[in-house]
Chain A
Amino acid sequence: MYKIFLTFILSILLLPYSSTFAVEVDMLIPPSDFQAFDTPNDDGKSVTLRWPSSPSESTEAEYVVYASLRKNGPFTTEVLRINSKTMYEEGSDSNFHYVEIKPGKFFNKDSDVTGGRSSYFFRLVMMSNSENVTVNEIASATPKGNWFNWKKLNNFIILIAFSTLVLWFIEHAKKNPNLYLRKISGLDAIDDALGRATEMGKPVLYVHGLNGMGSISTIAAVNILGRIAIRVAEYDTTLKVSNIDPIVLSVSQEVVKESYLEAGRPDAYVEDNVFMAASEQFPYVAAVSGIMIREKTAANFFMGYFYAESLILAETGASTGAIQIAATDSYTQLPFFITTCDYTLIGEELYAASAYLSREPLLLGSLRAQDIAKGIIITALVVGAALATIGIGFISFIFKAS
């Protein structure tokens, strides 16, 4: 009697655990739903699969998705296999799985086409070591390309707003040409540097950064080169331009040649003075440093995007006693230029330099727009930080990158 009573009590105590064991080991509960749909904001090659989490999920269980081009199957092509504890939908608190797949990779494009596009059918299977369960629903989707990425809408609106601001200020500058611009010492010193080179009878060295013409900083550097080349031609000084990229070389040769022509000194242009120093970083450093030391250049300009070579170049130039002006948007190299150069244009000043040197109202108008845009961003940062501190975070979504 005592043994029977003890067995009864133990059975009652172990009852809840026995059911759990049964779920984990013996009986998989499949997800209650399974959806497939065209992935929004894509190029038309992917579909998205979404299903609610199952209570049977464990590190041993897996979800496997089979696809077919026909609703009735056969579902033999495996297009996805994931651990059941992974790939949760963002913000769903692990209640839904969300996976993007490119089914076109698994099928021949021409094997079945409906209305010009392939429709795909999917079957979800949950698997563990001992058991497989299939979700009843067969999901289907037809991928199609989108003509606008709505995730980038905020970015697009900001671009349009800023572009409008720039164009408006350019128009405004036509009517009011005397815009005030803050002084940029580095750019004001260009004339001094060129004058010193002329007095000393030594060449001016213009060093391009390492990036190619695809980089906006290189384009800005080429713009500055055009302005400097005109003044160099007027002063009748020698200008040497070192390049690491052949396309930048071609553009620089053309820019310098045109500038000499503009200054009325086409005869002073020497093609070999705009040259390819090397095509790789450290050979470039060796070549340019050698020129500084051998020719004792009176003024060195470092314009563009620089990497580890910045300090070697600028320190070598400093050791020769040249006036040095650097302009870069590479913030990691800025400390080195600030340390070793007489003047350094920081970040955006590189882009402003051409407009500043030309003093043309149209170009100056865009600089004013830049300053206004910066003011707006600073305001947004301050207001956003204050709002976020009190728990209102909408402003961060306005500037969220997709």
Chain B
Amino acid sequence: MNFFKRTIPLIIAFIMGIMMAFQYYVPHEASQSLLKVVTRWGITIAGFAVFIGAYSLFHLHWNKIKRKVPGWGYSTFVFFGAGITIIFGLYNGGEFFLHDKQEGTMFDWMYFNVQVPAGATMFSILAFFMASAAYRTFRARTSEATILLIAAVIVMLGRVPVGALIWEFLPPIADWIMSVPNMAAKRGILIGVSIGAIATSLRIIFGIERAYLGGGD
């Protein structure tokens, strides 16, 4: 059992890891074809995985309804929303699902008039969260927080027209903060991330890191 759960996945990870690492350096058509095939495998697996995701979602909410857990009424909306979306998706404006997707159908209407506005509403909440988070952070209780507050005020004022009216040097100072200290920090993080990603990949390829298989080692 351990052979199938540990050894086989480790062998696959090793072979595919080495192969795809070298594929990056080989421009030959054979190498490009390999990349296409592997990418296609990924898409195929993802296609089947959607059913696992849907099963998980429905199973979770069905159990909530069955057990009448607090707030179970909201779970009925999962089935209601998924049900009518699937029905109108399959109906496809009268052409049914064997034909190409039709434009201007009820399915599109639900997407543009329910899902998109609901998503935009969630996104708009971000502005309020940003204000409350900024309030907490910008209380200048430490020297670091004070530096952050000053830098933030300069950048915010430097990025709006009124900043130049207050003081003509605000926009160039804001640009300098963004393009020098900010960029340096960003690149420092990116270098660390890249090295960390390579080291993690090597640990997985050589079977040193096995936590992704579950359990310890």
Q: Footprint of B on A, CB under 8 Å?
A: 41-45, 145-149, 152, 155-156, 159, 162-163, 166-167, 170, 212, 214, 216-217, 219-220, 222-224, 226-227, 230, 243, 245-247, 249-251, 254-259, 261-262, 271-272, 274-276, 278-283, 285-286, 290, 294, 308, 311-312, 315-316, 329, 331, 334, 336, 339-340, 346-352, 354-355, 358, 360, 362-363, 366-367, 369-370, 373-374, 377
Contact of B204 among A147, A219, A308 (CB under 8 A): A219
For the complex with contacts A170-B208, A226-B215, A286-B122, 13 further pairs of A-B residues with Cβ separation under 8 Å are A148-B25, A162-B198, A246-B50, A258-B213, A261-B214, A283-B118, A311-B129, A315-B133, A316-B129, A347-B193, A349-B196, A366-B202, A377-B191
Asked if B24 and A152 sit within 8 Å, CB to CB, the answer is yes
Q: Across chains A and B, which 10 residue pairs bring their CB atoms closest together, nearest first?
A: A258-B214, A246-B53, A351-B196, A348-B196, A262-B215, A246-B49, A226-B211, A348-B192, A282-B122, A258-B215
Contact of B60 among A227, A272, A311 (CB under 8 A): A272
Contact of B46 among A149, A212, A226, A272 (CB under 8 A): A212
A280, B32: Cα distance in complex, Å:
31
**Which A residue sits closest to B74, measured CB to CB?**
A290
A222, B24: Cα distance in complex, Å:
25
B71 within 8 A of A: yes
Which of chain B's residues have a CB closer than 8 A to the CB of A251? Answer: 212
**Which B residue sits closest to A340, measured CB to CB?**
B133
A41, B24: Cα distance in complex, Å:
12
A363, B134: Cα distance in complex, Å:
38
A219, B63: Cα distance in complex, Å:
30
Contact of B215 among A245, A259, A274 (CB under 8 A): A259
User: How many B residues have CB within 8 A of the partner chain?
Assistant: 67
Contact of B56 among A170, A222, A249 (CB under 8 A): A249
Known: A250-B52, A311-B133. A43 touches B29 (CB 8 A): yes
Q: Footprint of A on B, CB under 8 Å?
A: 21, 24-32, 42, 45-46, 49-54, 56-57, 59-60, 63, 70-71, 74, 115, 118-119, 122-123, 125-126, 129-130, 132-134, 136-137, 186, 189-193, 195-204, 206, 208-209, 211-217
Asked if A370 and B196 sit within 8 Å, CB to CB, the answer is yes
Which of chain A's residues have a CB closer than 8 A to the CB of B115? Answer: 280
11 contacts between A and B (CB under 8 A): A170-B208, A230-B215, A243-B56, A275-B57, A282-B118, A282-B122, A286-B122, A331-B190, A347-B196, A362-B208, A363-B209
Which of chain A's residues have a CB closer than 8 A to the CB of B211? Answer: 222-224, 226-227, 255, 354, 358
Known: A255-B211, A256-B214. A145 touches B27 (CB 8 A): yes
Contact of B199 among A217, A255, A367 (CB under 8 A): A367
Contact of B195 among A290, A308, A316, A373 (CB under 8 A): A373
A334, B211: Cα distance in complex, Å:
25
Known: A311-B130, A351-B196, A370-B196. A145 touches B29 (CB 8 A): yes
Known: A216-B201, A250-B49. A312 touches B125 (CB 8 A): yes
Asked if A363 and B214 sit within 8 Å, CB to CB, the answer is no
**Which A residue sits closest to B217, measured CB to CB?**
A360
State the majority secondary structure of interface residues on A. Answer: helix
**Shortest distance from the beta carbon of A321 to any chain B beta carbon, whole Å:** 14
**Shortest distance from the beta carbon of B115 to any chain A beta carbon, whole Å:** 8
A152, B206: Cα distance in complex, Å:
23
A45, B216: Cα distance in complex, Å:
48
**Which A residue sits closest to B39, measured CB to CB?**
A214
Asked if A222 and B195 sit within 8 Å, CB to CB, the answer is no
Asked if B133 and A216 sit within 8 Å, CB to CB, the answer is no
Asked if A43 and B212 sit within 8 Å, CB to CB, the answer is no
**Which A residue sits closest to B212, measured CB to CB?**
A222
A256, B212: Cα distance in complex, Å:
10
Which of chain B's residues have a CB closer than 8 A to the CB of A283? Answer: 118-119, 122
A286, B215: Cα distance in complex, Å:
31
A230, B211: Cα distance in complex, Å:
11
Contact of A43 among B27, B46, B130, B202 (CB under 8 A): B27
A269, B52: Cα distance in complex, Å:
18
Asked if A276 and B213 sit within 8 Å, CB to CB, the answer is no
**Shortest distance from the beta carbon of A165 to any chain B beta carbon, whole Å:** 9
Contact of B136 among A222, A243, A339, A363 (CB under 8 A): A339
A43, B30: Cα distance in complex, Å:
8
Asked if B46 and A282 sit within 8 Å, CB to CB, the answer is no
Contact of B49 among A217, A247, A274, A348 (CB under 8 A): A247
Known: A159-B198, A249-B52. A346 touches B189 (CB 8 A): yes
**Which B residue sits closest to A257, measured CB to CB?**
B214
Asked if B63 and A347 sit within 8 Å, CB to CB, the answer is no
Asked if B71 and A294 sit within 8 Å, CB to CB, the answer is yes
**Shortest distance from the beta carbon of A341 to any chain B beta carbon, whole Å:** 11
Asked if B136 and A276 sit within 8 Å, CB to CB, the answer is no
A257, B213: Cα distance in complex, Å:
10
Asked if B57 and A331 sit within 8 Å, CB to CB, the answer is no
**Which A residue sits closest to B204, measured CB to CB?**
A219
A45, B29: Cα distance in complex, Å:
8
Asked if A370 and B133 sit within 8 Å, CB to CB, the answer is no
Contact of B200 among A155, A156, A219, A340 (CB under 8 A): A219
A360, B209: Cα distance in complex, Å:
10
**Shortest distance from the beta carbon of A329 to any chain B beta carbon, whole Å:** 4
Asked if A308 and B133 sit within 8 Å, CB to CB, the answer is no
Which of chain A's residues have a CB closer than 8 A to the CB of B203? Answer: 166, 355, 363, 366
Asked if A366 and B208 sit within 8 Å, CB to CB, the answer is yes
**Shortest distance from the beta carbon of A163 to any chain B beta carbon, whole Å:** 6
Which of chain B's residues have a CB closer than 8 A to the CB of A349? Answer: 196
Which of chain B's residues have a CB closer than 8 A to the CB of A275? Answer: 56-57, 60
